[in-house]
Structure 1
Amino acid sequence: MAFWLVTPARAENLWEAYSFARARDPLVTQARAQLEAERARWTQATAALLPRAGLEGGVNRTAQHSSGFGPESTTYYTGSSASVTLRQPLLNGQRWANLDSARTGVRAAEAGLLAAEQDLILRVAQAYFGILKAAADERVARGEVARLEKALAQAQAFREVGAGEIIAVKEAQARLDLARAALVSAESERHIAQEALYRLTRQPIASIHDLGPLTPEGPSPARLEPWLDSASRHQPLLRQAREHWTAARQRVTASRRGYWPSVDLSGGYYYSKGGYIASLQNQQWLVGLNVSMPLYDRAIVGQLRQAQAEADQVRARLDDLDDQIHQNTTTAFRRLQDSVARWQAVRVGREVGTRSTIDLLNAGQDLTRAQRDHNLALYEHVTARLQLKAAAGVLDEADVRSINGLLRAPGAAQTR
């Protein structure tokens, strides 16, 4: 973890962390490159339906040797030629189907880029609040160690004056050992969480802004059906899969059209000069229709079978993803509802406080557990908001700014 030590430290908020990650995330970069590739494929498919013009020319030096009829002779002559050709497809079913498939590929890539961007928002938020939770748990662990050190010292003092028992000293020592081990684990978790965010941003983060005053908010609307409907219409992964299914069917259509005739309009101009008769010049203008149609081609049969099998495969993936998106949206909706309930339960528990008077050790243990439950409920509630929007396909940068508005710089007043 040397990069946390040698690089100047600065506090960051969620939006800054997301901005750093957005500029370099490899998955988003891949999605952008895929979109550019699909746009290039669409350009090529469009070009296949446009006129094609060509220019060709050359100069030839020929040596002609004659024998067997009269005296042997070798004649040298120079010839030159030039031509301009133009070809315009008039009827080509496969190329039109390929154009439709390429246009669908662009829409699929656009949905893929949106999915990658939404996934990045989630990954950054989870890493960011993972650090906050880990740091909060580490503070709780340090407080637990300090409390148990005092409890052990008190138990030893009572034992020395004859007012305590050895079992109390041993119990306090055992719990202190466990607390110190828990502290080491908490420190490790914080470092792991910091590493997760660093891998996304490649920026040193010594301290980050924590949540300020927060009011728990359940799903809005509070019914599951609107969220499922939104996921069906807007979820980018689902939209991408549907476009892939459409493109697969278009490839089947293109394969079937391999049996169709193709008609091209062609024209050109040809000019030549020289040759065996040096003064000879030749000019030709050509205009015509070219028709071609396969009569027997086993490759077309194989291409059609392959396209149909691939379409069946894409359809099966689409059905599976549709079920998965439905389940993910339902789960995210329930988790956000549950996070509000757990937040309220933890808050009530903190307000009431522990009333256990069995002994100091158990009372302190209950307090530590309550503090950890509070940290878990706090940060999971915020990420649950984002997870539901991501499942419904409506997560965007405005949500990052909204959550970022809940943060407070280190040292600012924190009232939750």
Structure 2
Amino acid sequence: MTDRHRYRARMLLGLCTSWAVIGPAWAAEGGLSLTAAYDASRLNDPTVQSAAHAFDASRNEEAIGRGGLYPQVSLSSRYGYGGRTDGGDDRSYVNSNDYQANSVTLAAQQPLYDKGRWAAYQEGKARGQLGVQVFDVAGQTLYDRVAKGYFDVARAENEIKLIAQQKAAINGLVIQSKKLYQGGQGAITDIDEAQARLDLVDAQEAEAQARRVAALRALSGRASVPIEDIQPMREELATANPIPPEQDLPYWTAIARDASPELAARLAAVKVAEAQADSQRAGHYPTLSL
């Protein structure tokens, strides 16, 4: 777990350094790519930052649970002073420091059999594993959210391109209707109908532009960097299927079952619950210590 944490720390440090050098210049050089948007969001997304702090805290859970298995040492001291204060006239009484009672106690205890402490140690280990899986889930869900925001922008831009083509065609229809009307071969209603369709397309274009701006702002807010544009989508289709035929649904289901961070997090949560149940039952068992 330590090596994994150090690797992530070095990776994040490298991303921070490159981000400071590159900055928002991506927007001016061909638009922001999906990978760059994900890297920026991984550094600045509050959900991921919260999960990272929770991951750091979970790394200490096992050590906390192990502490109950180590010897317990305690040191205590007492200082006592006594004397006669009643003011009596007993001739045998000597007015002096009557007595002092001082003591120092050092106690050591080593648990030999304590099911409750062992259950607490197992719960700490389970919580540590749960923290790792929850951090992985945060990274996975971040990619889903960034991809959705990125393709929302791409979808809005494609709609704008399509509307522009429709607008050009309808604008040509308006011009043609006017020419036919001026030549005595058309009706005024044809011009009005074509103009109405053009006005509708103008409204659709304004709506698509607004959706694009909103999607860019949402993506920029998640990445915490100013984004003016994204890289354009390719117009041509792939020449071959990007997924080989043998990689069917059962193939990906098996991979997801073995590598899904969300499933692993749920299994880790089950182990935490089992350890908590063992800790509750431990109160019915005897303890032995030296």
Confirm or deny a common fold (TM above 0.5): yes
The reply on whether 1:47 has 2:67 as its aligned counterpart is: yes
Secondary structure at 2:252 match in 1: helix
The residue aligned with 1:153 is: 175
Question: Which residue of the other structure, out of 12, 19, 22, is the alignment partner of 2:42?
Answer: 22
Quick check: 205-214 or 61-70, which moved more?
61-70
Structure 1 equivalent of residue 115 of structure 2: 93
2:183 partner amino acid: V
Deviations 1:289-334, CA, capped at 9 Å, x for gaps = xxxxxxxxxxxxxxxxxxxxxxxxxxxxxxxxxxxxxxxxxxxxxx
Q: Distance in 2 between matches of 1:119 and 1:40?
A: 25
Separation in 1, partners of 2:175, 2:89? 128
Q: String of CA shifts for 1:2-37, please: whole Å, max 9, x gaps.
A: xxxxx8853322222111100121222222222233
Structure 1 CA distance for aligned equivalents of residues 157 and 32 of structure 2: 15
**Contact 2:71–2:110 (CA<8 Å) still a contact in 1?**
yes
d(CA) in 2 for partners of 1:64, 1:252: 58
- 1:39 Cα deviation after fit: 2.6
Among 258, 265, 273, the alignment partner of 1:240 is 265
Match of 2:53 among 3, 28, 33: 33
Q: Which has the higher strand share?
A: 1
Matched residues in 1 for 2:80 and 2:45: separation? 57
Separation of aligned partners in 1, 2:140 and 2:219: 16
| 1:217 maps onto 2:241 in alignment | yes
CA deviation after TM superposition for structure 1 residue 214, in Å: 5.0
Return closer, same or farther for 1:150/1:110 CA change in 2, 3 Å cut-off: same
**1:134 paired residue number:** 156
Q: CA 1:180 to 1:57, structure 2 compared with 1: closer, same or farther past 3 Å?
A: same
SS in 2 for 1:12: coil
User: Cα deviation per residue 1:137-169 (whole Å; 9 max; x = unaligned)?
Assistant: 112223322332232122112112212122321
Kept in 2, the 8 Å contact 1:21–1:200? The answer is: yes
**How much has 1:96 moved relative to structure 2?**
0.7
TM-superposed CA distance for 1:47, in Å, is 0.2
1:263 to 2:274 alignment = no
The TM-score, its normalising length taken from structure 2, stands at: 0.80
Cα gap change, 1:87/1:214 in structure 2, threshold over 3 Å: closer, same or farther?
farther
Contact 1:66 1:74 in 2 (8 A): no
The structure showing larger relative contact order (alpha-carbon pairs under 8 Å, at least 6 residues apart) is 2
Residue among 185, 198, 203 paired with 1:181: 203
Instruction: Note if contact 1:66-1:73 (Cα within 8 Å) is conserved in structure 2.
Output: no
Whole-angstrom distance in 2 between the partners of 1:75 and 1:150? 120
Structure 2 unaligned segments of length 5 or more: list them.
1-23
CA deviation string 1:39-76 (max 9, x = no partner): 32322111011112233345455444356793577643
Tell me the amino acid that sits aligned with residue 241 of structure 1: R
